[in-house]
Amino acid sequence: MNPPNHETVPPFPSVLRPPPLPAAAKAPRKSLWLHGLLFIATALTTTAAGAFQQGANPFTDPQSLALGVPFSFTLLLILFCHEMGHYSLARWHGIQTTLPYFIPGPPFLIGTFGAFIKMNGMPRNRAALFDVGAAGPWAGMVIALPAVAIGLSWSEILPRQIGAEAPFALGTSFLFDLMGTLVLGVDLDEVDVMLHPVAVAGWFGFFVTFLNLLPVGQLDGGHVAYALLGDRHRLVSRGFLVVLISLYFLPGGWNGWLLWALLLFFVLRVDHPDTVDRDTPLDRKRRALAWATVVIFFATFMPVPFVINETPTSPAEPRYERRYRGPQEKLLEVQLAPRPASRSIMGDR
């Protein structure tokens, strides 16, 4: 009996020779059109979102759509590489899979709900499961890391405005903090940084990576946890579900954690299904890569990814001014107050 279809949410080549790859079935023309149309739609919505982030309105000023290209191109490249990592390793192990489906979203925050692929079947052993599951996050980080580094180097350092607080803020992670200190070479407790759109896209690349690496169910992290721990993955998966719910109830907790916990419990499921060969453990190289993947998860993890502040800002402050706060505050702030016409939203370079 053929195994059921499985989807990967929104590495490295196998060290063992994979089985011969079956002849690739030609994708139906309708399917190729669907992939192409979804990608074009997502490119438009993410570009519009990038323009809105710069304080422009592409609906009333179509020429301003160009302001969103740096953000859109970087974000789509991260998502594309993430999904092609899954696709390439699935094909390497002889698993038929689709090309990525991109999901357009409202063009206000980032303009997309991510991307996914469909696999016709499931890896037969834990080694193949690890290769396919870990390939996406690793491939995405190959783009996200230089995007953050380059974007930070293009960002503008500003004097700290004491008492200014943005109504909307993006949380930050240990890795983003570290890269901010290394790239900018300043004391982040004493300055503000207006982030370049490429850095913002890189931040969302980190966000997508740690969400997918949550060690629950059939998320990428669930694949890695099952491949590494076998049946013991259930303790980790159920424990992390409790952690997500706990983060929601903490003071200042992110409401999204409760939504994620419910989605994982009722839709994606908490426990990972067994592979055909469930007993053969990972070899030494894959175990090392699996633990390195765990390090990436914790380095990019954000306990509070988004913050809504109720304190209003002064009307004189710039609109959509992103601030990277230092280690004590750990916030990326986005000012929403009207900005003076004389100030460039991109920063003077």
pLDDT in tens, 218-262: 999 999 999 999 999 999 999 999 999 999 998 888 889 999 999
Does residue 294 contact residue 311 with C-beta atoms inside 8 Å? Answer: no
∠ CA 127-95-43 to the nearest 5 degrees? 105
Please indicate whether residue 27 or residue 274 has the higher confidence score (pLDDT). 274
Does residue 269 contact residue 6 with C-beta atoms inside 8 Å? Answer: no
Q: Which of 12-21, 95-104, 208-217, 223-232 has the lowest mean pLDDT?
A: 12-21
Please indicate whether residue 103 or residue 22 has the higher confidence score (pLDDT). 103
Does residue 191 contact residue 68 with C-beta atoms inside 8 Å? Answer: no
| Residue listed under structure tokens 């409790």 | 242
| Residue listed under structure tokens 């721990």 | 229
∠ CA 291-238-296 to the nearest 5 degrees? 25
Phi/psi of residue 114, nearest 5 degrees: 100, -155
Average pLDDT over residues 109-127: 93
Task: Give the pLDDT score at 162.
Answer: 59
For 158-279, where are the alpha helices, taking DSSP H only?
A: 174-184, 197-212, 220-229, 233-249, 256-263
Q: Write the pLDDT tens digit of every residue in 276-316.
A: 999 999 999 999 999 999 999 999 999 999 877 665 444 44
∠ CA 331-141-178 to the nearest 5 degrees? 40
Per-residue exposure over 111-136, b if at least 16 CB sit within 10 Å of its own CB, e if not: bbebbbbebebbbbbbbbbbbbbbbb
Q: How confident is the model at residue 327 (pLDDT cuts 50, 70, 90)?
A: very low
> 3-state DSSP helix/strand/coil percent for the chain, to nearest 5?
50, 10, 40
Tell me the β-bridge partners of 171: 331
Give the three-class secondary structure for 132. helix
Residues 6+ apart with CB under 8 A from 232: none
Task: Give the pLDDT score at 44.
Answer: 98
Q: How confident is the model at residue 186 (pLDDT cuts 50, 70, 90)?
A: confident
Cα distances (Å, whole numbers) of residue 275 to 34, 124, 184, 231: 31, 5, 46, 11
Task: Give the pLDDT score at 224.
Answer: 97
% pLDDT > 70, the chain: 77
Task: Give the pLDDT score at 164.
Answer: 58
Residue 74 has pLDDT above 90, yes or no: yes
Q: How many CA atoms lie within 13 A of 154 on its CB side?
A: 16
Q: How confident is the model at residue 24 (pLDDT cuts 50, 70, 90)?
A: very low
State the angle between helix axes of 126-153 and 197-212 in degrees (0 to 180), rounded to the nearest 10. Answer: 160
Smallest Cα–Cα separation from 138: which of 85, 96, 183, 186? 85
Burial group, residue 322, by CB count within 10 angstroms (0-12, 13-18, 19+)? buried
Residue 325 has pLDDT above 60, yes or no: no
Task: Give the pLDDT score at 110.
Answer: 95
pTM: 0.82
- DSSP letter assigned to residue 67: G
Per-residue exposure over 165-200, b if at least 16 CB sit within 10 Å of its own CB, e if not: bbbebbbbbebbbebbeebbeeebeebbbbbbbbbb
Residue 131 has pLDDT above 60, yes or no: yes
Q: How confident is the model at residue 165 (pLDDT cuts 50, 70, 90)?
A: low
Phi/psi of residue 3, nearest 5 degrees: -70, 155
% pLDDT > 90, the chain: 62
